Structure 1
Amino acid sequence: MIIFPFGKAPAVILVAALLAGGWLLLHPRGKEDANLVLWSFAKTHITAYNQALPALNHAYPDVKLSVKQIHFEALNRRLLSSFWSDLPSQPDLVEIEISCVGTYFKGPKEQIGFEDLKPRLVESGMYNRIVRNRLATWSNRGGIYGIPNDVHPVMLAYRRDIADSLGICVDSLYTWDRFIEAGRRFTVEGERYMIELNEQNVGSLECFLFQRGGGYFDSLGNVIFDNPVAVATMEWFVPLVTGKGRIGADLGSGQNAAVLFYKALEEGYYLFFICPDWRSSFIQEYSPRLAGKMALMPMPAFYPGGRRTSTQGGTMMAITKACKDKDKAWKTALFLYTNPEGRSRSFKKTNIIPPFRDAWTEPVFHEPNAFWSGQKLGEMYIGLADSIPPQYSNPFVVLAKGKLSQALVSCTQYYSVNGSSGFRDHIRKALTASADEVRKYQKRGLIE
């Protein structure tokens, strides 16, 4: 009997490795039959694109597309590394999320790793078909570096059944003043809050900042989150989430935050919450017991007649400069984003409306949604799409979000102790200090 000197467990592992290696030698993996490679981080997108492959191959027999799902962070690390090192292992097409796209615009314009698609968009007529403010997100120094996948207008979702039982008439909540007044009547501290709002993460705050026409940067790349609009927004927001009279609360952003949110929603802890189109599908999927009890309404305006939406999230599809057949990549990208069958299938799965105005007449966007109390969800989001505010990308947007978050924490802490006394001055100082930090980094890493 042969005894393996290192014990049974290593012997089993060795045998398994030898068997696996032998199988691979006898069954070599064939060379991938693809002339275009697409990377995406989004599982729902990957599924949709794989479902569209037969139709794509029928429309364009010369296209052999390989679709690869890559983890969000890994995708951006690998792609940036390949751009900076000019490595050959780059995809032809790639989807980039809105919070990361600014990173790709750092440095001289000619070193941006994506093809400028503005000439193709204009020549094809696509430029005038797309919601104009959505193109701003994917633009930099005169170029447009991606086709938008979405618009992501924001509404407020609410527990219709509870609102009805409390006598809340949502049609009367057309300004934030009226909404807050109602919120202070119906909020019960520790038991029920008018709206889900986060007092430390800027996700809630920035939604209102965009709605008011503010942001992190302007179209020229200047830092603006310490301007009068930002000061006024912070002064308005903080009392909603801290101190006496608060109407908003949040259960945190940890690992179980999503589970806690859905449970809280089902138990009536929140009456309203910020709901871009993509989030509405999550509610359907993870809170099925609320079917027929939910509804949507436009965001209240900051003044009568003002903007009643904002925007949150987003994705673009880009063509890399390394792509050897950009014409083929262009027609593939357009097919994946504009073919009616795929668009209809995607909307039924995600509730995401497309950025192409001519698509909005398709019947699927005008069907009642039973989960949302029979409302025509697509039609409602489409009605707000052209009103979304612009959101400008920048290489320093991640830093800016972090610095605004620091200012928010400082302001909530100050207000919880001091109330409104000296609050505006504190806001100005906190925002200016945070914004100046970003300006300092901008000067160190100038965009030529």
Structure 2
Amino acid sequence: MYKTMLANRIKGVIDLLIGEEQTAFISGRHILDGPLIVSESAAWMKASKGKGFFLKVDFEKAYDMSFALSRGLRQGDPLSPFLFILVMEALNVALNSAKEDGTIQGIRLPNNGPEISHVFYADDALLMGEWSIINALNVVRILRCFDLASGLKINFNKSCLYGIGLDTFDMELGALIFNCQIGLFPFIHLGIPIGANMSRVSSWKPISDKFKARLSGWKERTLSFGGRLTLIKAVLGSIPTYYLSLFKAPVKVIKELESIRRRFLWGNTRDGRGIAWVKWADVIAQKSAGGCGVGSIRDMNLSLLAKWIWRFRKEPAALWAKVINAIHTQPRKFSGIPVNKKINGVWLKINSIEDDMLKENISMEKLCRANVGNGVKKSQKDVLLRIDSSVGLGGGSGEGGQSQVFYFLNFNNCVLFWQIVV
């Protein structure tokens, strides 16, 4: 009980203690922020023909060593994740301090953007920077010091080095300095392929293989129609969501995934073809519209990618948003969203969903509306009066009616903020 209480209390202040490079266990930070930062940084370095390295650090786990039993927190304790990222914050501070005094050089983004040297998700650490022997040696020294100070041992033999613009000699020299393996682009970070061309159908083969494995043939024969329908919904909600949250799936991939689901639902087997009792459009339609509520993979993909545009406007001070602003400086059709078409990375594909939504008569500009404020920070007691252009002040029953305005103005200890939706 007391551990849960301590965990709930530390949640309110942990974001003030942990640097923005750490994205695990902190409210408002997302696991895909790190892969987006790494992908865009790598795409920019390739476009600018720079030389850089990416070091995927492997920390030894509890099952890699033997240790004496003592007092502590068991795995799964609600407080242990926060204590762990507090320990990892020591490495974050060391790397940032070395970056500030010039001891190490991260990837220096253009247009006064941030210098990216590392991203963390719990103990999944990815270090990056401009390539030089001195830079690599200093990174090793910092990792060794953290190893000795924290007890988190780094397994350099399982760590892996990736390079951009580096020849074979530089890669072998870097592997000798870090005492690690040599890897090639694309590589996997937090389950996301970094540097892969996700417009190719072959890049989505792991997803289609998982679809086929989960919706295997024996389940078609043993499950009822309701059971198959439930399993389809579960597979859609778990397997492709992670990829679809960052990458725009090609049309051919979506058709293949829909075909797998369709054949499984109607009981298609090698022995024969099942009967499609209703149109597939009715199956994927919402239950309120008379459908089965399975949902469209394409619509799900567009919705998940649209969230990035919403977050970009909502979180302009986030590290990933600063990276996007630095690399992409040319605004697209609707204001506030920069896109540099010369950088063929993840962000370019994310913003291409605007054209797809326009084909469905959905305007991103209307979905992403901004409120104009007066710059004063609001407290919980403050009341926000939101005035839409379609709502006038003449009536007394509307959202911005005169009776409500009079009530707010006469409410004690209340600050009234006027915001107009534009």
TM-score under structure 2 length normalisation: 0.23
* Structure with greater helix share of residues: 1
Query: Which fold has the larger relative contact order, with Cα–Cα distance below 8 Å and residues 6 or more apart in sequence?
Result: 1
TM-score under structure 1 length normalisation: 0.22
